[in-house]
């Protein structure tokens, strides 16, 4: 897959294939042929990643492999050497893996991609899951920082560790863009249409237009499209919002 250079809003929308089977995945892909970027998450990857990813690539789709790696440096580096073989475009790792682990993962991806003769996978750090609230950060994780301050620190750690960008809620996008510059990729889940009040398990949400204005490069959108009666129409409506 060639270097990602999004030209249209459609190319900046990543649809989440949060489904349990290959059949369900490609039923959805076939329903929205104009969508060019798809997310393969942990559930689908564990069940059928070896089938789904090659088929998506055969269909000339971009792939966001959202596994949220988190382990000791040697283990995340070894995992990245294996995952490089899939030739996906984006891959995630938790920033709480730490500076040594983040650098080891990025180095392994670059080395393996070079050996394979493919474009390097862009490694993105997960700052804080969008299901977390300020209260949970303070009371459950016992982190004494305000939620925005914590997320900014994680983004800066990712940048200092040579990652290509981060996953963050759109509510933190402006702050991170100002601190990390224009070349740093911001990929934002937690997107809801203005007409959708239900947040599901997302705590920090924003509309697509507002998220792009805040500095997001890509938006990851699942249920507002995939659980719609007509996913293709939902995707088109989103582009026009």
CB 89 within 8 A of CB 36: no
Is 57 an active-site residue? no
Task: Please tell me the number of Cα atoms within 13 Å of 98 on its side-chain side.
Answer: 8
CA dist 80 and 94 (Å) reads 13
CA dist 67 and 43 (Å) reads 9
Largest CA distance in the chain: 48
Region at 26 (left for phi over 0; alpha for psi -120 to 50; beta for the rest): alpha
Contacts with 208 (C-beta within 8 Å, 6 or more apart), sequence order: 13, 191, 193, 219, 221, 238, 241
Pairs from 157-161 (Cβ < 8 Å, separation ≥ 24): 157/95, 157/99, 157/102, 157/125, 158/95, 158/102, 158/124, 158/125, 158/127, 159/184, 160/99, 161/99, 161/102, 161/103, 161/106, 161/125
Cross-strand pairs, 92: 124
The active-site residue out of 68, 103, 110, 199 is 68
Active-site residue list: 68
């Amino acid at each position: 897959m060639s270097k990602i250079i999004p030209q249209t809003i459609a190319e900046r929308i990543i649809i989440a294939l949060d489904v349990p089977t290959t059949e369900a995945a490609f039923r959805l892909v076939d329903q929205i042929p104009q969508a060019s970027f798809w997310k393969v998450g942990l559930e689908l990857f564990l069940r059928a990643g070896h089938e789904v990813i090659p088929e998506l690539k055969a269909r000339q789709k971009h792939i966001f492999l959202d596994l949220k790696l988190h382990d000791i440096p040697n283990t995340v580096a070894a995992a990245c050497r294996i995952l490089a073989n899939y030739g996906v475009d984006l891959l995630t790792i938790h920033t709480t893996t730490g500076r040594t682990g983040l650098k080891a993962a990025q180095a392994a991806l670059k080395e393996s991609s070079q050996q394979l003769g493919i474009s390097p996978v862009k490694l993105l750090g997960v700052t804080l899951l969008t299901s977390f609230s300020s209260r949970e950060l303070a009371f459950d994780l016992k982190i004494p920082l305000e939620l925005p301050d914590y997320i900014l620190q994680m983004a800066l750690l990712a940048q200092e560790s040579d990652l290509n960008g981060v996953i963050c809620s759109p509510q933190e996008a402006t702050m991170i863009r100002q601190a990390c510059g224009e070349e740093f990729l911001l990929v934002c889940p937690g997107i809801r249409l203005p007409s959708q009040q239900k947040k599901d398990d997302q705590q920090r949400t924003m509309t697509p237009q507002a998220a792009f204005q805040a500095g997001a490069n890509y938006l990851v959108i699942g249920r507002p499209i995939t659980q719609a009666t007509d996913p293709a129409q939902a995707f088109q409506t989103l582009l026009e919002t």
